[in-house]
Amino acid sequence: MESPEGEVRRLSGELDAALEEGLREVVGGPGSLGVLFSGGVDSSLLAWELRHHPHVVLGTVGRAESADLLAGQRGAERLGLPWHSVVIDEDDVREASTRFAEELGDLPWVVRTVLLALALAIERTPADRLVCGQGIDELFLGYAHYSGLSPADAEVRVREDLDRLLRVDWPRTRRIARRAGKEIFAPFLTTRFVESALRVPIALRLPARMPKRFFRDWAVGRGLPRELAEQRKRAIQYGSGVAALARAAERRTR
């Protein structure tokens, strides 16, 4: 019978192989490469994996002095990689809402502000090919709504969230990127990585002391500095300040 330590090693090895396969598609193309970088563990691991790419730049979106901009700057300095700050204000958010109205107009508030933040980062990160960390919160139970769920209920919620991401939200993100003249990749959403992540027993993925514990430990095992792997941060729409800017912009138009 496989020991718990042996199971973790095997599962980690499957994730290793899946991520490395997904990254080969990313590094194989021409030109500059941008990582949509919030300073959290998901994007930090991608930045770490791509740190030897000759033309990589990290791009962080946020209003001045936002938590994400501060975390992005600190993380880029720790990784020793070029960093581009995408500083936005209320006008930027209002104008982006108009430019991307076709993709954003019918969405619930939270989803819309997430995609607004992504759209601004995609547009303004100075690279034609971009990499993002979408998928980890669904696969490794990073959202607050997973807290307190039973294993069975968590399995159901993960499947529902992942289905929506793959059918609706990720295709929408790719359309936004195309509209901005960019190509975007999500190495954590390749078929192989998703399948490997879902083979990790739900008991190992449930939030405990810290959300995404299994993923964070695996990232450290791949060499990511622990202070970046342990970084706690708010969802992009709040950490970047985009949600607050969007609410302010809407109030002004009433």
Q: What is the per-residue pLDDT for 66?
A: 92
- The one-character DSSP state at 88 is E
Q: What is the per-residue pLDDT for 146?
A: 92
Angle between helices 109-124 and 242-253 (to 10 degrees): 110
Compute CA 192 distance to the chain's CA centroid, rounded to the nearest angstrom: 18
Query: The domain spanning residue 147 has which CATH number?
Result: 3.40.50.620
Whole-structure pTM value? 0.94
Judging by DSSP bridges, how do beta strands 56-63 and 83-88 pair with one another?
parallel
Q: What is the per-residue pLDDT for 110?
A: 83
Q: What is the per-residue pLDDT for 188?
A: 98
d(CA 35, CA 38): 9
> DSSP alpha helices (H): ranges in the chain?
4-27, 41-49, 67-79, 90-99, 101-104, 109-124, 136-139, 151-164, 170-179, 191-198, 202-205, 213-221, 226-229, 236-239, 242-253
Range of the domain at 66: 4-253
Compute CA 116 distance to the chain's CA centroid, rounded to the nearest angstrom: 14
d(CA 187, CA 15): 11
d(CA 141, CA 204): 10
Domain count, the chain: 1
Q: DSSP string spanning 18-30?
A: HHHHHHHHHHTSS
- Bridge partners for 35 per DSSP: 58, 131
Across the chain, which has 254 residues, the per-10-residue mean pLDDT values are 81 97 86 92 97 92 92 95 93 89 83 89 93 96 91 96 95 94 96 97 88 95 96 82 81 67
| Per-residue pLDDT tens over the stretch 77-105 | 999 999 999 899 999 989 988 888 888 87
Q: What is the per-residue pLDDT for 254?
A: 59
Q: What are phi and psi of 57, to 5 degrees?
A: -135, 145
